[in-house]
């Protein structure tokens, strides 16, 4: 197994540890299949993150497989798997990354008394032994070992000094102090880092890391407070997805360090121009639109509505803009291509937009682009991004939408849909009436697919302006306790709705692995 050595000096660089594929994926409706995880991991590589937490190998065969595939695919960043302190977890995590160019493992156990008593039923001595044992075992096989004191922000600081001292002696190279419950306040969270770094022998030999949840909306502020007190790694997710209110948002924390470098004096190595494509890709994959007011990547993040602001920005951008949209990779949304553009120009534009053209069926995407040019007067960068992600979604499908005809309600008839789909390559047609044309189309699709999951959410968004805009539909469906999202984009909103449902059904079908054992103690 190849080994990696962590940098052991404090510097002005803050490592970005992305856990979108692990902590992010754990949140309801954010599940991804292996292909989607690989597509996202490739984008994380383009972003130039330092570490990718690819999953939790021991939690299910599906997770193990995802970590293994991501570890093979992403050659630049360190790729690691989460692991409890159990022997089977450590061994499974080590095995899952053994083909990685830069493998790592992330071992955690809770250190707060509340977790010890009610969740683990272990004493402080038991936890100390388990942590030291697991790190020692992993260290026999690889060098890059992160250790986390889960629920650090509610743990006794002196007890954590004991645990961290022991795991560093056993070979941990990164110590992570998570605010697991999003309970911390910046000032106190920063003080905890200062306290630990002052008292733990060998503190200067390891990287100190912050992992914050956003329950009080303070995840970014807490992470920055940790950095101001010596942390040199931030754990975060794209769009801030994650358990409950989410994790520290990568785009926010990275742009805060970049924009306020004057004050912070530190920065990340993230290629910020890849932030917007990454945010969009994730949103498309999990079928969850980014809220319009989301800092950095929301639709309104750079929109100036008030006349006085518009006037100021027109006179001099910096009157109201503290960042440049182009630094985040936000498309300029000018007319970029038209019906006379060739395949070459189309491919070049995709590359400019940060799309990995090797992972796209260019012939199909180009044909779709031409069809869109016939329908739409203006094709924007955002349209192209939506079209390509739509294209990527369709490549690994069991169910495929072939054709659809709908008719709206009249005085004589209910809304009606006739849908044709390919199911594992075989064409099938069904008809249905409904409460509206989307409802009719969905009923016909359920007939063909032979399943009818509960539709928990359905949302429509216009990607660009105008009545001919590409519409993006996202939905959330639930069956047998499993919730998956689907997304679809098309200039016809009923077709976009059907594509979203078909996408969700494919993802339900793809989730063939169930967790082997209950993972209730997963943070
Ligand atoms: O929130 C948390 O404590 C975690 C740890 C596993 C790092 O996700
Ligand atoms: Zn977490």
pLDDT band at 336 (very low <50, low <70, confident <90, very high): low
pLDDT higher at 303 or 202: 202
Name the residue with the closest Cα to ligand 1, atom 4.
523
When pLDDT is cut at 50, 70 and 90, the band that residue 26 belongs to is confident
- Any idea what the CATH number is for the domain that residue 171 is in? 3.20.20.70
Q: Hey, what are 260's tokens?
A: 């306020």
| Whether residue 345 sits in one domain with residue 437 | no
Per DSSP (E only), the strands in 73-160 are 78-83, 103-110, 145-150
Closest ligand by atom to 240 CA: 2
Pocket mutation for ligand 1, best pick of 82, 149, 167 (most atoms within 8 Å of C-beta): 82
Q: Does one domain contain both 120 and 242?
A: yes
Going across the sheet that includes 471-479, the strands are: 454-462, 471-479, 482-490
Inside any domain, residue 466? yes
Q: Domain span at residue 419?
A: 399-510
Number of structural domains (the chain) is 3
pLDDT at 314 exceeding the cut of 70: yes
How far away, in angstroms, is 70 Cα from ligand 2 center? 20
Same domain, 372 and 404: no
Of the pLDDT bands very low, low, confident and very high (cuts 50, 70, 90), residue 417 is very high
294 found inside a domain: no
3-class secondary-structure state, position 462: strand
Question: pTM for the full model?
Answer: 0.78
CATH number at 447 reads 3.30.160.270
Is 462 found in the same domain as 364? Answer: no
The DSSP annotation for 210-253 comes to: EEEB-TTS-HHHHHHHHHHTT--EEEEBGGG--STT-B-BHHHH
Q: What percent of the chain has pLDDT over 70?
A: 88
386 and 407 co-located in one domain: no
Ligand 1, pocket residues at CB < 6 Å: 23, 82, 108, 148, 150, 176, 178, 180, 211, 213, 523
Question: Quick one: which atom of ligand 1 is closest to the CA of 522?
Answer: 6
21 lies in some domain = yes
The answer to whether residue 167 is domain-embedded is yes
If asked whether residues 151 and 98 sit together in one domain, one would say yes
CA of 497 from ligand 1 middle (Å) equals 36
Residue 22's nearest CA partner among 41, 46, 5, 39 is: 41
Residue 295 lies in a domain: no
Q: How many CB atoms lie within 10 A of CB 20?
A: 31
Identify whether 133 is part of a domain: yes
Residue 344 pLDDT class (50, 70, 90 cuts): confident
Q: Ligand 1 center to residue 152 CA distance, Å? A: 9
| Domain shared by 220 and 273, yes or no | yes
Determine the pLDDT at residue 374: 79
The ligand placed nearest to the CA atom of residue 151 is 1
Higher pLDDT, 333 or 472: 472
- Per DSSP, helices labelled H in 455-521 are 493-510
Distance CA 243, CA 214 (A): 9
Asked if residue 483 and residue 460 are part of one domain, the reply reads yes
Q: For the residues 442-463, what does the mean pLDDT come to?
A: 89
The CA 416 to ligand 1 mean position distance, Å, reads 49
User: Closest Cα to atom 2, ligand 1: which residue?
Assistant: 180
Domain limit, last residue, from 286, 304, 319: 286
User: Measured from the CA of 108, which atom of ligand 1 is nearest?
Assistant: 6
Q: What is the pLDDT of residues 462-485, one digit of tens each?
A: 766 667 677 888 888 888 767 777
Distance 273 CA to ligand 1 centre (A): 28
Q: Which residues surround ligand 2, an ion (CB under 5 A)?
A: 23, 523
CA distance 405 to 498: 11
Atom of ligand 1 minimally distant from the CA of 152: 3
Q: Give the model confidence (pLDDT) of 52-106 as tens digits.
A: 999 999 999 999 999 999 999 999 999 999 999 999 999 999 999 999 999 999 9
**348 and 378 fall within a common domain:** yes
CA distances, 228 to each of 153, 186, 196, 225, 267 (Å): 17, 10, 14, 5, 12
Same domain, 262 and 372: no
Tokens matching residue 329: 């990779």
> Where does a domain end: 346, 369, 393?
393
What is the per-residue pLDDT across 139-190, written as a single tens digit (0 to 9) for each? 999 999 999 999 999 999 999 999 999 999 999 999 999 999 999 999 999 9
Q: What digits encode the pLDDT tens for the residues 359-411?
A: 778 888 888 888 888 776 667 666 777 777 666 555 557 899 999 999 987 87
Shared domain for 227 and 336, answered yes or no, is no
Going by alpha carbons, the residue nearest to atom 1 of ligand 1 is: 180
Q: Which residues pair with residue 479 across a beta bridge?
A: 482
Q: Which atom of ligand 1 is nearest to the CA of 247?
A: 1
Ligand 2 centroid to Cα of residue 28, in Å, is 14
Q: Residue 7's pLDDT is what? A: 41
- Is residue 325 in some structural domain? no
Ligand 1: distance of its center to the CA of 211 in Å?
7
**503 within a domain of the structure (yes/no):** yes
Ligand 2 centroid, distance to 438 Cα (angstroms):
38
Q: Is the dihedral of CA 256, 258, 262, 263 positive or negative?
A: positive
User: Which atom from ligand 1 is nearest to the alpha carbon of 243?
Assistant: 1
Of 345, 363, 393, which one is at a domain's C-terminal end? 393
Band (519; pLDDT cuts 50, 70, 90): very low
For the CA of 211, the closest atom of ligand 1 is: 7
pLDDT at 255: 98
- Predicted confidence at residue 523, as pLDDT, reads 55
Residue 4 has pLDDT above 70, yes or no: no
pLDDT of residue 261: 96
- 196 & 97 share domain: yes
Going from the Cα of 246 to the center of ligand 2, the distance in angstroms, rounded, reads 9
């Amino acid at each position: 197994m190849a080994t990696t050595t962590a940098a052991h000096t404090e510097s002005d660089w803050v490592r970005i540890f992305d856990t979108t594929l692990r902590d992010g994926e754990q949140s309801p409706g954010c599940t991804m299949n292996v292909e989607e995880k690989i597509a996202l991991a490739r984008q994380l590589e383009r972003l130039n993150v330092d570490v990718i937490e690819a999953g939790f190998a021991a939690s299910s065969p599906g997770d193990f497989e995802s970590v293994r595939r991501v570890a093979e695919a992403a050659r630049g960043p360190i790729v690691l798997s989460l692991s409890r302190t159990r022997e089977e977890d450590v061994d499974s995590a080590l095995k899952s990354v053994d083909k990685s160019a830069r493998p790592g493992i992330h071992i955690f156990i809770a250190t707060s008394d509340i977790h010890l008593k009610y969740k683990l039923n272990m004493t402080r001595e038991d936890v100390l032994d388990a942590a030291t044992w697991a790190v020692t075992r992993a260290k026999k096989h690889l060098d890059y070992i992160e250790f986390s004191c889960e629920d650090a922000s509610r743990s006794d600081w002196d007890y954590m000094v004991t645990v961290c001292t022991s795991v560093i002696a056993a070979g941990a190279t990164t110590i992570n102090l998570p605010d697991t419950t999003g309970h911390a306040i910046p000032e106190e969270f920063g003080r905890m880092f200062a306290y630990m770094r002052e008292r733990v022998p060998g503190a200067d030999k390891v990287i100190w890391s912050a992992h914050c949840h956003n329950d009080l909306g303070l995840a970014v502020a807490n992470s920055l407070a940790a950095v101001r007190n010596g942390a040199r790694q931030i754990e975060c997710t794209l769009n801030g997805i994650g358990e409950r209110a989410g994790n520290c948002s990568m785009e926010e924390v990275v742009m805060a360090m970049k924009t306020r470098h004057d004050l912070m004096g530190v920065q990340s190595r993230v290629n910020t121009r890849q932030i917007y494509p990454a945010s969009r890709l994730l949103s498309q994959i999990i079928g969850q639109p980014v809220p319009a007011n989301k800092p950095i990547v929301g639709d309104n993040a750079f929109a100036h509505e008030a006349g006085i602001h518009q006037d100021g920005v027109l006179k001099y951008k910096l009157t109201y803009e503290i960042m440049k949209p182009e630094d985040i990779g936000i498309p300029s949304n000018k007319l970029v291509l038209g019906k006379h553009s060739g395949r070459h120009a189309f491919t070049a534009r995709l590359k400019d937009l940060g799309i990995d053209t090797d992972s796209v069926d260019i012939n199909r995407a180009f044909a779709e682009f031409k069809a869109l040019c016939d329908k739409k007067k203006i094709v924007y960068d955002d349209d192209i991004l939506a079209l390509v992600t739509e294209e990527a979604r369709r490549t690994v499908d069991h169910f495929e939408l072939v054709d659809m005809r709908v008719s709206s309600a009249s005085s004589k008839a209910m809304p009606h849909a006739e849908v044709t789909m390919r199911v594992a390559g075989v064409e099938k047609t069904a008809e249905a009436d409904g409460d509206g044309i989307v409802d009719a189309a969905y009923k016909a699709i359920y007939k063909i697919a032979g399943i009818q999951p509960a539709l928990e959410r359905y949302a429509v968004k216009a990607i660009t302006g105008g009545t001919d805009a590409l519409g993006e539909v996202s939905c959330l469906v639930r069956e047998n306790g499993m919730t998956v999202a689907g997304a679809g984009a098309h200039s016809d909103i009923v077709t976009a709705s059907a594509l979203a449902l078909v996408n969700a059904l494919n993802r339900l079908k793809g989730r063939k692995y169930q967790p082997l054992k209950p993972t209730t103690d997963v943070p």
